[in-house]
Structure 1
Amino acid sequence: MFYGICNLSIVAVRFEASEKSEMVTQLLFGEHFTILEKHKNWSKIKIFSDGYEGFVDNKQFEEITEDYFTKLSTSEPIYSGEIIDFISDSNNDFTTIPIGSRLPFFFKNEFTINTKRYIYDGKVYSEKLPKKEIIQKAFIFLNTPFLWGGKTPFGIDCSGFTQIVYKLCGYQLLRDAKNQATQGEVLSFIEESEPGDLAFFDNENGEITHVGIILKDYHIIHAFGKVRIDTLDHSGIFNAELQKHTHKLRVIKKMI
């Protein structure tokens, strides 16, 4: 078995082993994974944090030992807290990192990947935060453009948005909306929900395809064209600009 870690700022994870293939998610700096299949130019991986699978370019990650992988998997994660920042190595080379990047074994502004030492002096998140912080973190991403498979302030999809917001607050969600909908506790009515709960929406075939974070006063923040705030009612999401419902409500879940 082989293992790897993302040592670049943002790396595309694709459906197939090709640069032309659909991006299904992204690796952020410091995210580690199991290598399921290793080919000449591409590797099929399984991301440790959410179990998501896809293909990455072999030039865009670094291999790690099983021992390093195990220690990292059992350590408390520490994430960068600035929208965009940089790390420097011993050669004084800089690498930009987006918010939510993992800093392996971070201590006193330093961490290492294999034998390479990095320095980071920005804000970090390292513990479970109160539920009210979910809303504060969600607003960081307001007006971020929609990007299928994205999970950064430079492009994000609906479930990538909810996943990264919860991650910054110390809680792990699965990657896709339909999978996130299997987590948490079902609420019967909108009136039972609190800011920070998740609302899920389905398509004409009954498949859950969208998710957003409930705000106070019957509003929701979600990624649809961009991360935006709309009205939430018992039918779904009402878009005032379009003067119509854009998503049909399926279920509300309390995650924490």
Structure 2
Amino acid sequence: MTTLHSIWYCSVTVASVWTKLESVRDIDQSAIVNPVQLMKWLEALHYEERLDLCKGNRIQTQLLFGEPVIVEEIQGEWAKVISILQPTHKDDRGYPGWVPLVQLCKYQPSKSKGNIIVNVDKTQLWLEDGTPQIILTFNTILPVLADTKQHYIVDTPIGIGKILKQGAIKYTGHQVQSMVKAVQFGLNYLDLPYIWGGMSSYGYDCSGFTYNMAKACGIHIPRDAGDQATYGMAISKDNKDEWQVGDLLFFADEKGTKPVRHVGFYYGDGQMLHSPQTGKTVELRKLEGTIFVEELCAVRRYGSGVKIT
């Protein structure tokens, strides 16, 4: 075991953060290699294997390409990490877990003119010479070095590359848009299958969905539903006239008396946009006449001028 406290970066399209070293099953091997084989992994997971990611507490969250982590220690081919961009009550520094060492790398980002953020479902990353490299997912953030008529030139953990301008925008993280825009981003993922721990446009869990749509708007919220329900601005759950499009709706078992178990966006007109659960897909649904009416336990508002920390 090697003890460290240095910054490393995700070097694959999406890296899952595992709860323990023994959390990985034989069927998960495609998810822990470099290059990661996300589609092969997801297509191999039938309902029971997908459900076991949750029931077996196997995955904590995911990292996107270029996302920084603190590497606390290395055990063999694995690194114990803290995902510093994902706030959680589990650790003041960020989300903890284990990532295959092969999916991380050390590098020193170049001094840049800011960042770009991928604002489409997926886009291609090329090397400077035009060699195709990996696919970048929605919300991937990279330092931008320059731009041409068609491309952004970006610094990445695997070298200098370029992406089409139509697939990304300049991003400071401080250009806060409203949560109405977050809902609009979310509509792009209707019918996307739920995946426990999911944080990418290959699949989201409920709070990964709300976290990432907010992130795309420059609004930084906690990673998990339980934490999201304790920040932001409290809105009356009993007075629907106070609800606004983009407010987060929280739900709990036993008529809302248990810990928060689910979150979704209020869409307006008594509807919710959310990523429901294993076996289902991102959907819009009416709240009236569903169990969600009884389970509603909190409503929170995030956005410009709303304190979240």
TM-score > 0.5 by shorter chain: yes
- Shift in alpha-carbon separation, 1:170–1:59, aligned structure 2, 3 A: same
Q: In the alignment, which residue of structure 2 is the partner of 1:249?
A: 296
Any idea what the Cα deviations from partners look like across 1:118-170, whole Å, max 9, x if unmatched? 11113324232233212211101111111100122322110000011001111
- Give me the whole-angstrom Cα distance separating, in 1, the residues matched to 2:128 and 2:294: 50
Q: Does 1:30 align with 2:82?
A: no
Q: How does 1:70-149 map to 2 (within 5 A)?
A: 77-90=115-128, 92-105=131-144, 107-108=146-147, 109-113=152-156, 116-121=159-164, 122-125=166-169, 126=171, 127-149=175-197
What is the aligned partner in structure 1 of residue 249 from structure 2? 199
Aligned to 2:76: 40
Q: Identity across aligned pairs (percent)?
A: 25
Q: Where do 5+ consecutive residues of structure 1 fail to align?
A: none
Residue 185 of structure 1 is matched in structure 2 by: 233
- TM-score normalised per structure 2: 0.72
Structure 1 length as normaliser, TM-score? 0.86
Tell me if structure 1 keeps the 8 A contact 2:252–2:262.
yes
Q: 1:213 to 1:34 in 2, by over 3 A?
A: same
Q: CA deviation at 1:89?
A: 1.5
1:153 counterpart letter in structure 2: S
Deviation sequence 1:178-197 (CA, Å, 0-9, x none)? 01112101111322110011
For 2:119, the aligned partner's letter is G
CA distance in 2, matches of 1:210, 1:106: 40
Q: CA deviation at 1:6?
A: 1.1
Does residue 1:16 correspond to 2:20, yes or no? yes
Paired AA for residue 283 in structure 2: R
> Would the aligned equivalents of 2:179 and 2:302 in 1 still touch at CA under 8 Å?
no
* Structure number having the greater strand percentage: 1
1:173 to 1:93, Cα distance in 2 relative to 1, 3 A: same
* 3-state SS in 2 of match to 1:38: strand
Q: Is 1:62 aligned to residue 105 of structure 2?
A: yes
Q: CA RMSD in A?
A: 2.3
